[in-house]
């Protein structure tokens, strides 16, 4: 390879790297889809979710403990919703502890779970593998 070819090769790789870097860092995939639902109440609820360590037993977006159910879409799931969520938070069950939450705390947690519900779905990605080995993605974490 002549020196000219080496230089050409180097600079074409260098330019490709530059273009790729710009594309990756200007892609909007990191946008928070539920940002408009992240109210002050929801922010308080997030802190309470951490304070009471709900994540020890529950998953959000598929991550967390597995003793209780995934809560990502509990606010909109069939047969669930705000009424059920409030009931669990108010009284607990034999398996879910009663944290003796105040009404304000329950409101904040409900606001946080509403924000989570509107900002994504769980399972975050749903795949199926076709007979020819290709993979199909049914959902990509975006709420329709």
Site for ligand HEC (CB under 6 A): which residue of 42, 60, 71, 121?
A: 71
Q: Which of 62, 99, 107, 124 binds ligand HEC (CB under 6 A)?
A: 99
Size of the site for ligand HEC (CB under 6 A): 22
74 scored as a contact of ligand HEC (CB under 6 A): yes
- Interface map 33-52 toward ligand HEC (x if CB under 6 A): ----------------x--x
Q: Beta strands 59-60 and 135-139: pairing type? A: unpaired
Are the beta carbons of 113 and 45 closer than 8 angstroms? yes
CA 99 to chain centre: 25
> Is position 18 an interface residue for ligand HEC (rule: CB under 6 A)?
no
Contact 41, 111 (CB under 8 A): yes
Distance CA 72, CA 124 (A): 10
Contact predicate 105/48, CB 8 Å: yes
Taking the complex as a whole, how short is the minimal distance between the CB of residue 102 and ligand HEC, in angstroms? 12
Tokens of 125: 């990605």
Q: Which stretch binds ligand HEC (CB under 6 A): 20-28, 29-37, 93-101, 135-143?
A: 93-101
By CB under 6 A, tell whether 116 contacts ligand HEC: no
């Amino acid at each position: 390879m002549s020196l000219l070819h080496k230089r050409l090769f180097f600079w074409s790789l260098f330019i490709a790297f530059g273009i790729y870097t710009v594309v990756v860092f200007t892609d909007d995939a990191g946008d928070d889809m539920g940002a408009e639902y992240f109210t002050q109440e929801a922010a308080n609820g997030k802190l309470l979710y951490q304070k009471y360590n709900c994540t020890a037993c529950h998953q959000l977006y598929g991550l967390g403990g597995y003793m209780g159910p995934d809560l990502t879409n509990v606010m909109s799931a069939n047969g669930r919703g705000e009424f059920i969520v409030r009931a669990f938070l108010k009284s607990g069950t034999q398996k879910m502890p009663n944290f003796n939450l105040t009404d304000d705390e329950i409101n904040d947690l409900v606001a946080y779970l509403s924000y989570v519900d509107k900002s994504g779905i769980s399972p975050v990605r749903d795949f199926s593998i076709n007979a020819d080995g290709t993979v199909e993605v049914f959902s990509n974490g975006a709420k329709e």
